[in-house]
Structure 1
Amino acid sequence: MEDGIGFGPALKKLRLARGLSQQSLVNVATREHLSRLERGVSSPNLTLVCDIARELDVHPMSLLALAFAKEVSDPSLRELFATILTDLKLQAPLD
């Protein structure tokens, strides 16, 4: 992924930071599927992203932000969030 580290590495980083094994996430996906996700062989749908984030005890946007960040640093994340805020301001209100 050119725009960041990718979903798989982000998932693995958060999972390991929480001291969890792939097996500990079998409530949302098989260990084999999690392995494919982490290796970038498979891509998750939005429901799975939300389910995995819940199991990791993070907001789904945190998982996605890490996937799209170029690195886990304050400047990289600030740049990403500035882009997101600009994109959202261009849209009509959600209400």
Structure 2
Amino acid sequence: MTLRENFGGALRTVRRFRRVPQEALELVSSRTYVSSLERGLKSPTLDKIDSIAKALGVHPVTLVALAYLRSHSPAEQQNVLAQVELQLKQLSEFESIASESE
């Protein structure tokens, strides 16, 4: 599966988990656009991911992470999440140090 298809599947999973019909997202996107995303026909912008995630009541990183996790086995998913958590901590610490030295 492509990343675009994985994102579409992740969006569909979150939307169904939250029990939100596609029509309920029309305030941020048309139902046709949401359907195209879910079928992996289109790729959203970061702004659109943010809007859709807010409408679904999840963090945008959740949608993106779930899209990437779909290409890994359940056993590998924990390793991927641990790697991302470590990298985010390291980068956050680096940004703190870098901003103090400016």
Q: Normalising TM by the smaller chain, what interval?
A: 0.7 to 0.9
More relative contact order in 1 or in 2 (CA 8 Å, sep 6+)? 1
| Post-superposition CA distance 1:13-65 (Å, at most 9, x none) | 11011111110001111010001000000000101111111011011111111
Which residue of 2 is the match for residue 28 of structure 1? 28
Q: What does residue 93 of structure 1 align with?
A: 94
Q: CA–CA distance in 1 between the matches of 2:70 and 2:49?
A: 19
Q: TM-score, normalised by structure 2?
A: 0.75
Give me the identity figure in percent: 35
Query: 1:71 Cα shift?
Result: 7.0
**Residue type of the alignment partner of 1:94:** E
What RMSD, in angstroms, separates the aligned Cα atoms of the two structures?
2.6
Task: Considering fraction of residues, name the structure with more helix.
Answer: 2
CA gap 1:90/1:59 in 2 versus in 1, 3 angstroms: closer
| TM norm structure 1 | 0.80
What is the count of residue pairs matched by the alignment? 94
Unaligned 5+ segments in structure 1 are none
After the TM superposition, which of the residue ranges 29-38 and 80-89 deviates more from structure 2?
80-89
